[in-house]
Structure 1
Amino acid sequence: MVNFKGAHHPKDVILYAVYFYVRFAVSYRDLEEIMSERGVDVDHATLNRWVEKYAKIIAEQALRRKTPTGRSWRMDETYVKVKGRWMYLYRAIDNQGKTLDFMLSERRDEAAATEFFIRAIGNNGFPDRVVIDKSGSNAAGLFNMNCLLMMHNWCWLIEVLQVKYLNNIIEQDHRFIKKITRPMQTFKSFNSAAATLAGIEVAHMIRKGQFSRSGKFGFEQFAELAG
């Protein structure tokens, strides 16, 4: 459950603002105007603080409470600009398009790929196979996961496929993330970027129906994740 103690606005107002920002392609200035039209006087700096504080926590709840995902994965990374520098958003979905996990990294190398796979496996269990592009660092990360399995005497290993056309599904899935981040232009800090992207991923998961909340609107599902 997300703790709203000490907040100067009602919980529903805060959640509405955070959800609207991570779901729709708006800037903080746009959102300030939208909230004002709804009778809520809040400046863009406060809206930014709300997103940074609450979006990441809600995303942690979402990863724990999502419906079961498949064991055939598609993994790739996309680019996000933070403080004028390109950074890397690692993402994985299953073969049905359901989001498995995501992680922002300053680097695109073996260490970052390994960290992502450890995180994704920790949240979802070991996959049967993972489809990646021709990235050597991603292949090395999966090799490290298979070494871990061998060290623990597992009788099977993760199948690694480097087939570009099989990864089209995740390349298409990146589009929602890019659409929402485009008006944001560039993030001011790594923590702000990581929190905002986590919230965007949750909004995307809601669109995909990953929380089995039949008949409930996106905001209602988002609010439920906050407890």
Structure 2
Amino acid sequence: MKRSTHGAAVTALIATAVVAAAGAAHADTTPATTPPQDWLHTELAPGVVFADDVATGIAAVRTPIGTVAVRPNGFDLRDAAGNTVLGTPIDLPATPEATTVDAPPPRTSSDIASRPNTVAAQSAPEDLMSDINQSVAAAAPHMGLAMAVGALGGSVIGIALGCPFGIATGGTLLSLATLGTMTIPAVVATCAVGAVAVGGLGASLGGAAVAIPVGIAAGTQKFDQLQAQRAQSRTPSPTRPSNS
């Protein structure tokens, strides 16, 4: 019980730091200062997988109804069959299994909650805080890419929903309007009002919905790696038997 409580506290610390760093990660999405890494896959929900490569600045969210991908100065919106319907095609790994041997497997909240906590329980407080800080720093570039692709996907959904909502409410977004009394320019204008308002809200919600779980997963993975390295360094080497 003590180990489980300690592990939950560590995960909560990482999650809190990751959420606090979300704004900074959104502002800094440049992968130039980040060392090359393999594709990282994070399962956000059943059938919904985020993948990114911070070395190239490419990120994507795959869903059963389509895929949203971004790269520096470009984007790619695909339908369920994988055909690009808007933007420029971006090369993506075929499946999460396409990662190399050293790449991390997809992580879920249940994986994080059930991981072993024995190493964390043995860490000194200063080592623990150092590992948490390094974990948050490692998660930042993944969060930046996740926020970018989440904002794009959220804005597309928001625009699709906002346009008819704006028309139905006459641009007020508060009460229903009578469509028969509206002129064509008024319909276009109210569609634009709804698309801008709901699209902006969708971008904010979509960015946060993708960036936060990706940041927690990436930070927790880095934390586990650091703790494993400390455990190896503390393991005493076997002594050779003396010759009598």
Specify if TM > 0.5. Answer: no
* Structure with more contact order per residue of length (Cα contacts < 8 Å, sep ≥ 6): 1
Class of the TM-score when normalised by the shorter of the 2 chains: 0.3 to 0.5
TM-score, scaled to structure 1: 0.34
TM-score by length of 2: 0.32
Which structure is larger by alpha-carbon Rg, 1 or 2? Answer: 2
